[in-house]
Amino acid sequence: MANEANGPTALAAGIQARCAAIEVLAVDVDGVLTDGRIIVDDRGVETKNFHVRDGMAFALWHKAGKASAIISGRSTPAVERRAAELGIGLVVQGVADKGEALRALLAETGATADQVCYVGDDLNDLPALRLVGLACCPADAVPEVRAVVHLRARATGGTGVIREVVESVLKAKGLWHEACGHYLAPTT
């Protein structure tokens, strides 16, 4: 995980403190969970490619007892299906104002803005990114997004961005080993 000030080094104390407060992970889809391409077959069916490491990240996040949400400007059944597979209960699609959608999410979950990490990549994510305690983006986010985030992943959209974010946050919270220790323990 990199930030503009420190490059791809250990998290700065201020960023670590932001991570420590996070209880809700909210993410965009196109350009974050996917590489941003929209593929429509000749029957009009839209498909998306999701990275398996992001799926593992959501599993670890939930194992740590944390909530997650999707906020997307587009609406597609593929997102509903992937969210159901990953146990993401809060899914808001087809929203024009992601800041407004995030405020509704806060009201629904009872979380404060400082307790939310939002991951977005494009201009329509800016209202949500500016509201949260921890704003993150993929390496290939648009310049306007890169300018306002606290953390920028080394991964590009669709290549494990959420895994990087979740690992950074859980490590900062001291929950990484608890969430994935059973995978790391040597077998006998």
Residues in the chain, total: 188
Q: Retrieve residue 43's tokens.
A: 């029957």
This prediction has a pTM of 0.92
Q: Retrieve residue 81's tokens.
A: 């299906």
Residue (of 113, 109, 31, 44) closest to 72 by Cα position: 31
Query: What are 63-93's pLDDT values in tens digits?
Result: 999 999 999 999 999 999 999 999 998 999 9
Three-state DSSP class for residue 57: helix
Query: What are 114-155's pLDDT values in tens digits?
Result: 999 999 999 999 999 999 999 999 999 999 999 999 999 999
Q: In what order do the strands lie in the sheet with 90-92?
A: 90-92, 67-71, 24-27, 116-119, 134-137, 151-152
Per-residue confidence (pLDDT) for residue 182, from 0 to 100: 84
Residue (of 186, 150, 183) closest to 53 by Cα position: 183
Q: Give yes or no for a contact between 33 and 54, defined as CB atoms under 8 angstroms apart.
A: yes
